[in-house]
Amino acid sequence: MNDVSHDAYCSEISSRTDELRAAVRCAEAGPAGTPVPTCPGWSLTQLARRVGGTHRWAARIVRTRATLPVPHDLVDDVFSPGPETPAALDAWLAKGAAELTGALLDAGPDAPVWTVAPSGTARFWARRMTHETTLHAADAAFVTDAFFAVREDLARDALDEWLGFGALPRVLAAAGPDAPPLTGPDRTLHLHATDVRQAEWLVDLTTEPITWRHAHEKAAVAVRAPLTDLVLLLYGRRTPADPSVEVYGDTDLLTLWLERSGFWLRK
């Protein structure tokens, strides 16, 4: 169980949305003409629409106490007509974040709702939308050269959430029968944050199901990086070749695991 409170998640959603809004307002070429290098094919307009649409989608799930999947057109269709100017996008993002945090706070963490992974409570959406919004705030920061970092407790939580998704049975099933094997003898990964104390994770791929734990243990491949960079690595915003990332051991296993465990990010 993570230690981040429901209210803290909601506050972070608002703060990270404000960072994205600031990027939209200050982009020199205007949102429509500002590409986002970490989201190939997207401009800041599409990035903003993705975030605002996702907020509205999650808000609807929580507000209506949905028990079945809710259509996610607003999440996927970022190129349809919509707010274009910095002022319009700014206001639209602010409204979406307010709708989401308002729905989450009204519901409380334990309200039963449909979720995309095991949980079934509004707390799942508070957590998921916090890390989703943080990721895209990073994307915007890369455009504007703004400073970006994730607070320690939230970065630890983001890694825990990622590893929980990566341990779901469908990680193995999604690859198909002809994919290279992810699990097998001596297949372990160790993640170690270099800038904070006792921030280590061991991913055990030796058997199915995949498991993970907080541990300081030798592994087939070890990754050392500052905590924020570990988060960005898992989300594909850093690579094993980045100067801030140190890799020791089986780099092929690391590459395969990053690709396979990130399947849920892909449209």
What are the structural domains, with CATH classification, of the chain? 6-148 (1.20.120.450), 156-265 (3.30.1050.10)
**Alpha-carbon distance 146 to 163, whole Å?**
28
Please report the pLDDT score of residue 261 as a whole number.
87
DSSP result, 77-120:
--SSS---SHHHHHHHHHHHHHHHHHHHHHH-TT-B---SSTT-
* 8 Å CB contact between 234 and 250: no
Residues with Cβ within 8 Å of residue 70, at least 6 apart in sequence? 57, 60, 61, 64, 114
Residues in the chain: 267
* Position 182, amino acid: L
Give, in order, the Cα–Cα distances in Å from 72 to each of 59, 133, 249: 12, 16, 41
Print pLDDT tens along the chain (267 aa): 568 999 999 999 999 999 999 999 987 556 557 899 999 999 999 999 999 999 999 999 999 999 999 988 878 778 777 787 888 999 999 999 999 999 999 999 999 999 998 889 999 999 999 999 999 999 999 999 999 999 999 999 999 999 999 888 877 777 777 888 899 999 999 999 999 999 999 999 999 999 999 999 999 999 999 999 999 999 999 999 999 999 999 999 999 999 998 876 654
**Alpha-carbon distance 191 to 222, whole Å?**
6
Start-to-end C-alpha separation, the chain: 28
Please report the pLDDT score of residue 152 as a whole number.
97
- Shortest CA distance to 172 belongs to which of 209, 202, 118, 203? 209
